[in-house]
Chains A and B, each alone.
Chain A
Amino acid sequence: MTDTAVTLWRVETKTKASATFAIVAGLIIVLAFAAPLFASRSVQQDLFFILTMLVLAQNWNLLAGYAGLVSVGQQAFVGFGAYAMFALVILGGLDPLIAILLAGIASALLAVPTAFFLFRLQGAYFAIGSWVIAEVVRLALAQWKMLGGGTGTSLPREATRDMPALKLVGDLFGVKSSGAGDILTYWLALLLAIATIGLVYRLLRSKQGLGLAAVRDNQEAARSVGVDARRMKTLVYLAAAFGTGLCGALIYVQKARISPDAAFSVVDWTAYVIFIVVIGGIGTIEGPIVGVIVFYILQNLLADYGSWYLLILGLIGIVIMLFAPRGLWGLFAERTGIQLFPVRRRLTGGPVPSSKKGGPHG
């Protein structure tokens, strides 16, 4: 190694693919925001479904893929966020948009006591413990008679119809309030998805994100270099609760009808989400995006086959976990070396060209 070469070393995370992708992503986002201009209502509803599942998947991936917290109880926060929003709108008379935000905060607050219990359990026991918590929250909310108890309730039509934002959207596009509602919830889901991916990406590139990777790879070693694993994990748990609760509230503004069994469904809000992340590729930002697209296609292909659909999804999940544990995106990235959201710090420049090889994380 010569003296002049030393000065050329740089630490960076950007790759050629990621730079190109940033431009493409910008275009996609602009196009996505403009979608209500040319896409039908049913397409908007499908996109809403895809985007909200993506948000849930990114949150679960942050928990399990990065912090090693395998929760099978995230339906606790979907349901709690949704119920908090219903309570604020029906009992507090708030605008649903404000209620969504407050519901996210309420979910994060719920996560404080649940973290206190759950962090006493390790590994697999954390997983089932999180499920118990979700059951407790479901059973407790089913006792809330003012919100319909076990059978649930609906959002009053006037609460959503009279939203100022809805009027604005309706006037803008010249559509009736039901159509405007779809546009509004779609936009919100889009915003939420972009914000979630952006925040997760920022977190992973930050010093805290590196600490998180260190904790996941080796808890003991991470502690010895001063990373407080417990604090990092708690932080991620609270953040995921906030994001999941916010998303749950948004989903139920669109559904406008809630019941404890649906809002706390382990299949809808956890099983699907886990399969999305596992199929796409756990521990990457790209994985859940790929996963949600595959999931949507499978759902449309197999929609008429009832429980066969879930059965096949389960089998695919098992096969991927056993034979391609980094998921479809992992397979792709391994072959091509492409990373759209590079979080690895690479040494570039210098006398030796930097290697392009490597999985999503090292």
Chain B
Amino acid sequence: MAWLDTIIQGILLGGLYALFAAGLSLVFGIMRLVNLAHGDLIVLAAFLILMLVSALGLNPFAAALVAMPAMFAIGWALQFFLLNRTLGTDILPPLLVTFGLSIVIQNGLLEGFSADSRRISIGGLESASVALGPISVGVMPLLTLASAIAVIIGLNQLFYRTSLGRAFRATSDDPVTAGLMGIQPKRIFATATGIAMVVVTIAALYLGTRANFDPTIGPARLIYAFEAVIIGGLGSLWGTLAGGIVIGIAQTFGAAINPEWQILAGHLAFLLVLLVRPRGLFPRAVD
């Protein structure tokens, strides 16, 4: 029964990684931009939620709701005023600017909040669990996975059922012709990054309530997110969830053997997938 428990814990952990990855996947899908500061933006959102909780005494879930529009605005402005300038055929500017941004956010947070470990308290929910047959499952991990699934459904609806989603796909296909439709690619990109930051806020809520965090843990979250995206296959949000779950299961199995092997096992699973399925588990037919 222990291995079944390990698998379930891994799947639930995968939900968290899918949340980290969904925003990255969204932005890459629309503008082929890989934001190396993605992990640090998750940590930034976690600090924002923490501030709202401690300063206003809000419930963390309510604080996340308040943080969402703020993070949307940050993402919108970041893309519109900074990152749009880096888009083009040369891959150096977006990579180096977002790498610089990652360093700036990390050190800004260190300056503002110190290197201390923090946690967003959710009271009794922290240790609450439900019994799924013989397996006891934490309520928060379950909520995380449910949120990941909800986010992916929501993003897919947005993508395939709304006028904005059509504009996203059209701009991604061909920004010049999109302009002839009245679409302003720069605003579309800014909106996409804004939405990615809303997803980032949801990820931050679970990051901050489930474990300790400090300003320096962003890059590791970026790496998990990236691994989930690649394992799933570029451009597929459900693939990203599968990728997150692969990493999650690999990590819980690694940890079951030796706690020090948890992270390493996740990376090795990623390399293994890269070896046997370089285009990921669910590659898009056209790309």
Contacts and interface: CB of A to CB of B under 8 A. Distances in A.
Contacts of B104: 311, 314-315, 318
A280 B92 CA distance: 15
A68 B91 contact: yes
Interface stretch (B10-18, B51-59, B67-75, B268-276): B268-276
Given A117-B274, A132-B227, A139-B267, A318 B100 contact: yes
Interface string B157-181: 0000000000000000000000000
Contacts, number: 120
B36 A128 contact: yes
A317 B223 contact: no
A70 B103 CA distance: 17
Interface in B17-31: none
B278 A120 contact: yes
A266 interface: yes
Interface in A273-302: 274-275, 278, 282
A143 B265 CA distance: 13
A150 B86 CA distance: 39
A318 B101 contact: yes
A355 interface: no
B92 A307 contact: no
Given A117-B274, A322-B97, A127 B103 contact: no
Given A128-B223, A131-B219, A131-B223, A317 B264 contact: no
Interface in A16-60: none
A150 B259 CA distance: 13
A122 B94 CA distance: 14
Nearest to A318: B100
B34 A125 contact: yes
B260 interface: yes
Interface in A131-154: 131-132, 135-136, 139-140, 142-143, 150
B205 interface: no
A247 interface: no
A140 B264 contact: yes
A142 B68 CA distance: 39
A236 to B, nearest CB: 16
Contacts of A249: none
Contacts of B106: 307, 310
A123 B34 CA distance: 9
A313 interface: yes
Interface stretch (B107-115, B119-127, B128-136, B145-153): B107-115
B263 A135 contact: yes
Interface residues on B, range: 35 or more
Contact of B267 (A132, A143, A278): A132
Contacts of A139: 263-264, 267
Contacts of B96: 70, 274, 278, 317, 321
Interface string B220-252: 101100110010000000000000000000000
Interface residues of A, number: 42
A127, A140, A306, most chain B CB atoms within 10 A = A127
Nearest to B219: A266
B37 to A, nearest CB: 10
Contacts of B226: 125, 128, 132
A136 B270 CA distance: 11
Nearest to B258: A143
A114 to B, nearest CB: 10
A70 to B, nearest CB: 5
Given A70-B92, A278-B96, A282-B92, A311 B108 contact: yes
A191 interface: no
A307 B110 contact: yes
A322 B86 contact: yes
B101 A135 contact: no
Contacts of B230: 121, 125, 129
Given A142-B260, A307-B110, A308-B111, A321 B91 contact: no
A64 interface: yes
A124 interface: yes
B95 interface: yes
A315 B107 CA distance: 11
B28 to A, nearest CB: 8
B268 A136 contact: yes
Nearest to B222: A128
Interface of A: 64, 68, 70, 72, 117, 120-121, 123-125, 127-129, 131-132, 135-136, 139-140, 142-143, 150, 266-267, 271, 274-275, 278, 282, 306-308, 310-311, 313-315, 317-318, 321-322, 325
29 contacts: A117-B271, A121-B230, A125-B34, A128-B226, A129-B274, A132-B223, A132-B227, A139-B267, A143-B261, A143-B264, A266-B219, A267-B103, A275-B100, A278-B96, A306-B110, A307-B108, A307-B110, A308-B107, A311-B104, A314-B101, A314-B107, A317-B96, A317-B99, A318-B97, A318-B101, A321-B92, A322-B86, A322-B97, A325-B93
Interface of B: 33-34, 36, 82, 85-86, 91-97, 99-104, 106-108, 110-111, 219-220, 222-223, 226-227, 230, 260-261, 263-264, 267-268, 270-271, 274-275, 278
